[in-house]
Amino acid sequence: MSQMITSYSNIMDRYSNLVSQTKNPALQISDKEMESLGLGQSFGDVFASQMDRLNTTQIKADELAMDFASGNTEDLHQVMIAAEEARISMELAVQVRNKIIEAYKELSSMQL
């Protein structure tokens, strides 16, 4: 979870820097910075990559739990950390889904 929060914090810091830089036309935003923020990619590509990441987290937690249950590993701390990371990642994905659905419903109820 701390890695996710740190990652989110880093993304927001870089986004703030990019926004402040765009006010100064002398500064150019590199393609690498744009790509690292997910800018220039379609929503579907970003969504698919995040779902793959969520799936990987879930698989890792399942594998560690199976290894612990079968006696292949004795590190309960790593098993619990992976399980909590998977749980929190899933909760985040569900909340993002709920917000997307809420936004869609709000847009579809607007009169043109």
pLDDT, tens digit, 9 for 90 and up, residues 3-18: 655 666 777 677 676 6
| Dihedral sign of CA atoms 55, 56, 59, 60 in order | negative
In the chain, the N- to C-terminal Cα span, in Å, equals 42
pLDDT at 25 over 60: no
The average confidence (pLDDT) of the chain is 81
d(CA 61, CA 106): 36
CA separation, residue 111 to residues 15, 97, 101, 102, 106 (Å)? 33, 24, 18, 16, 10
pLDDT tens, 26-53?
Answer: 555 666 666 666 666 777 888 888 899 9
| Cα within 13 Å of Cα(35), Cβ side | 3
Residues in the chain: 112
Residue 99: band (very low, low, confident or very high) from pLDDT cuts 50, 70, 90:
very high
pLDDT number for residue 1: 54
What SS3 state is found at 76?
A: helix
